[in-house]
Chains A and B, each alone.
Chain A
Amino acid sequence: NAGVTQTPKFRILKIGQSMTLQCTQDMNHNYMYWYRQDPGMGLKLIYYSVGAGITDKGEVPNGYNVSRSTTEDFPLRLELAAPSQTSVYFCATKQSYEQYFGPGTRLTVT
């Protein structure tokens, strides 16, 4: 089992560019999450999904979009990148109360 995989590991974007952060899981978990981690700030929830076709906003959804067409995949879309979106992004799944995190994507917007 690969668990939760995220691509790319690193990315540098110019202001105004768009990109999609990929997240895939092979654990057949219904719940999936996107968080961002800023230094000294802990994790903030961006979006989450309780199953294929169902998504909802977290604490900090502005500037992001998600879709969940399959149980396995939960991509995060940045449409117009801004420096404030420089962060480390983590995807996670949840089974019962426990969350399983991917290795993260480090994104820099300049």
Chain B
Amino acid sequence: AQSVAQPEDQVNVAEGNPLTVKCTYSVSGNPYLFWYVQYPNRGLQFLLKYITGDNLVKGSYGFEAEFNKSQTSFHLKKPSALVSDSALYFCAVRDAGNFNKFYFGSGTKLNVKP
């Protein structure tokens, strides 16, 4: 069965500092991995994806994610956090057997303090 885990319910970081939001995955075959962001009372917005190729993928709003096959991780990163980055972040993986289905993590709340 496919799944993703986000081990931290909440991450706190000061504005201007680097941030990391963690995600580990379990999937048979090659993983297709995604990050989404959710602002209060809004739907999720796509940030970035890993399909194949470079282990460091760049996405929207200055975010990037590092794919690590040996550690089965796909951590979201940003070199310098902004207060406006405060939101709920979800990692997701595509089902390896049914390409139409996706599984989401439980979410990590990012708090960026001024």
Please, how many angstroms separate the alpha-carbon atoms of A104 and B51 in the complex? 28
Partner of A43, one of B94, B100, B104: B104
Contacts of B42 in A (CB 8 A): 103-104
Chain A residue contacts of B44, Cβ below 8 A = 43, 90, 92, 99, 101
Measured between alpha carbons, how far is A40 from B88 in the docked complex, in Å?
A: 11
B9 contact from A33, A40, A50, A90, Cβ within 8 A: A40
Which chain B residues numbered 92 to 107 have a C-beta less than 8 Å away from chain A? 94, 100-107
B107 is contacted by which of A40, A44, A56, A98 (Cβ under 8 Å)?
Answer: A40
Which of A33, A101, A102 is the most central at the interface, judged by chain B CB atoms within 10 Å of its CB?
A101
Contact A31 B100 (CB under 8 A): yes
Please report the C-alpha to C-alpha distance between residue A31 and residue B45 in the assembled complex, in whole angstroms. 17
The answer, yes or no, to whether A64 is at the interface (CB within 8 Å) is no
How many A residues face the partner with a CB closer than 8 A?
25
A42 within 8 A of B: yes
In the complex, the answer to whether B105 meets A42 with C-beta atoms within 8 Å is: yes
The reply to whether B46 and A42 contact each other, CB–CB distance below 8 Å, is no
User: Could you tell me if B104 and A42 are in contact, using CB atoms closer than 8 angstroms?
Assistant: yes
Residues of B in contact (CB 8 Å), total 22
**Interface residue A75 (Cβ < 8 Å from any Cβ of B):** no
Number of A-B contacts (CB under 8 A): 53
What is the interface of chain A mostly: helix, strand, loop, or mixed? strand
A41 CB within 8 Å of chain B? yes
User: A41, A48, A92: which contacts B101 (Cβ < 8 A)?
Assistant: A48
Cross-chain contact A101 with B43 (CB below 8 angstroms): yes
CA distance A90 to B45 in the complex (A): 12
- The B60-114 residues at the A interface (CB cut-off 8 A) are 90, 94, 100-107
B33-44 interface code vs A (CB 8 A; 1 in, 0 out): 010100001111
Q: Which residue of B lies closest to A35 (CB)?
A: B104
30 CB contacts below 8 A, A to B, read: A4-B43, A35-B104, A40-B106, A40-B107, A42-B90, A43-B44, A43-B90, A43-B104, A45-B102, A45-B103, A48-B100, A48-B101, A58-B101, A59-B103, A90-B44, A92-B43, A97-B32, A97-B49, A97-B51, A98-B46, A99-B36, A99-B46, A99-B102, A101-B43, A101-B44, A101-B45, A102-B43, A103-B41, A104-B41, A104-B43
